[in-house]
Amino acid sequence: MRTSSITIALVGSTGAIGHQVLQLLNNESRVDRIITFTRKPNLNKLSKEENHVIDFNQLAALDGQIKADVFICCLGTTIKAAGSQAGFKKVDLDYVVEFGKLAETVSAQKFLVVSSLGADANSTIFYSRIKGEMENELKKLKLPSLEIFQPSLLIGARTESRPGESFAQFLTPIINPFLQGLLKKYRPIKITDVARAICLRALSTDQKKITYSSDQIKDLIS
């Protein structure tokens, strides 16, 4: 992959991880342009950001129109925010896969996506099952490089309240010493650390098809 004048296509830039990714990439000299896609105009657009307001239900209409070297997907919601399981599935599965198809069409060099620890298409837990189905659908696409990030509970500032993550943040100093070896991947991870790892891999020259567990995400930036 070329190492200068890289164009990034990013969805999920208004979320916790995506916002950090956008900020970091905007400060990268190797990045020429960041194309973001949002439901509402970004009134605080960054210097390298090219913001497009779209209807995510019409993502397929952009087929072949997004010219970018790297596609990054940080889309994610909750059942509460989406209003239903069907709404959650539309965002965390359908929209993500459609974005992957756009990357496939233009032969993007890399596709990076945020999933979740425990993602499993066969899980009895709805959230984990949808994440697993999303990963499986992306793996079917002809993407030269697919990097899946599976963070555990996220700690750090969010635009929306998630009580479970807030509680985990409180417990982190207490439980982390006990999460060693195979349990290390269950340690809560900082939102900023996930974003840093994504940016590091987005700008790397090698291409991989790999899934990073939460502890491996942390190792990327250590």
- Digit-coded pLDDT (tens) for 147-198: 999 999 898 865 555 555 555 565 666 666 656 666 778 788 999 999 999 9
In a domain, 185, yes or no: no
- Digit-coded pLDDT (tens) for 6-61: 999 999 999 999 999 999 999 999 999 999 999 999 889 999 999 999 999 999 99
In a domain, 150, yes or no: yes
Residue found under tokens 């359908």: 94
In a domain, 131, yes or no: yes
In a domain, 106, yes or no: yes
Q: Quote the CA–CA distance of 69 and 66 in Å, as a whole number.
A: 10
Q: Which H or E run contains 143? A: none
In a domain, 78, yes or no: yes
Give the CATH number for residue 41: 3.40.50.720
Q: What CA dihedral angle connects 195, 200, 201 and 205, to 10 degrees?
A: 160
Residue 30 lies in domain: 6-154+190-214
Residue found under tokens 């509402």: 40
In a domain, 160, yes or no: no
At 180, list the tokens.
Answer: 């060693």
Please tell me the total count of domains within the chain: 1
Please state, as a whole number, how many other Cβ atoms lie within 10 Å of the Cβ of residue 58: 9
In a domain, 89, yes or no: yes
In a domain, 164, yes or no: no
Q: Which residues contact 165 (CB under 8 A, 6 or more apart)?
A: 153, 154, 155, 158, 188
